[in-house]
Chain A
Amino acid sequence: MNPIIQITREPLDRNALIASVAHAGAGGIVTFEGVVRDTARGKQVRYLEYDVYPEMAEQQIRAIVAEAERRWGVERIAVAHRYGRLEIGEASVVIVVATPHRAEAFDACRYIIDTLKATVPIWKKEVATDGEEWVEG
C-alpha cells in the first residue's frame, strides 16, 4: 500500500489518519502525535511558526517510510506534518503505523519520528514572550 504523506497548513486530523491505515490484518496501531507545548528552555512560548521545504520534505519522508517498511515489514503508514502558525496544544506531526503485532509498530513509529526530526527540512520558530528564534530539534 502507498504510504499516506501530508504536508499541510490545515489542522491535522488524527482520526482520519488512523482510519486510513487501519485494516483487518492490523493487530496493533501505534500513533505518535507531536504537540506544541507552552514552555521551552525556561521560556514562556506564545506560539510556534513552522517553515518547510515542501518538495524535499515529502521526498525525505517517503524515503524514511520506505526504510521503515524494509526494516520492519510494515505496510500501512501515515505521516502528516503541519506548517505555518501553530498554537499551544495543536498537533505539529502525526505518525500512524499499523502492523499485525505491536512490537514492529512501536519500533517503526519511533524510527520514523526520530529520523524525521534529523533529516526532513522543516524548521521551527519559537515565539516567546521575550523574543523569537529558530530552534533546533
Chain B
Amino acid sequence: MLARVELASTPLVQNLCYTFHMKIRIRYFASFREITGLNEEILVVQEGTTIAKVREMLLDRYPRLQPIMERSVCAVNRGYVAAETHLHEDDELVFIPPMGGG
C-alpha cells in the first residue's frame, strides 16, 4: 500500500513524499482477546516492520498486555517464528500466551 505523507512546513511542490506501508492482520485469543476486547484487527505498518516493533505498538495501545506479552511467543501465518521476524503484506500475526490444551 502506498501512503501519502504531507509535510506541513515545506512548500507545496515539495510536500509530497511517499513511504511504503502494508497491512497486517492480528488475531487475538484467550487473555489477549479479553484485554483488547477484539477478535482481530488490521494494522497499517511500515513495510518490513518486525514483530518486535508491532509488539511495541500494541503495548502502547494496550498497556495491560505487558505481563502476558512477556510470557508469549509469536506465530506468523500459523507457524512459530522469532520476534525479529520481518512481516509482509497480509501476514497473519498471533501472539500466543502460555498454552493449556489437553
Contact = CB atoms under 8 A, between A and B. Distances in A.
A130 interface: no
Interface residues of A, number: 27
Interface string A23-60: 00000000000100000000000000011110111010
B101 A124 contact: yes
B102 A121 contact: no
Interface stretch (B1-9, B15-23, B56-64, B91-99): B91-99
Nearest to A81: B101
Contacts of B29: 51-53, 121, 123
A122 B100 contact: yes
Interface string B69-84: 0000001001100000
A101 interface: no
B78 A56 contact: yes
A60 to B, nearest CB: 8
A71 interface: no
Interface residues of B, number: 16
A80 B97 CA distance: 22
A56 B102 contact: no
Contacts of A121: 29, 75, 94, 96, 99, 101
B94 A56 contact: yes
Interface of A: 34, 50-53, 55-57, 59, 81, 92-93, 113, 116-125, 134-137
Interface of B: 27, 29-31, 33, 75, 78-79, 94, 96-102
24 contacts: A51-B29, A51-B30, A51-B33, A53-B75, A53-B78, A53-B94, A56-B78, A59-B78, A81-B101, A116-B101, A117-B101, A118-B99, A120-B99, A120-B101, A121-B75, A121-B96, A121-B99, A121-B101, A122-B102, A123-B29, A123-B100, A123-B101, A124-B100, A134-B98
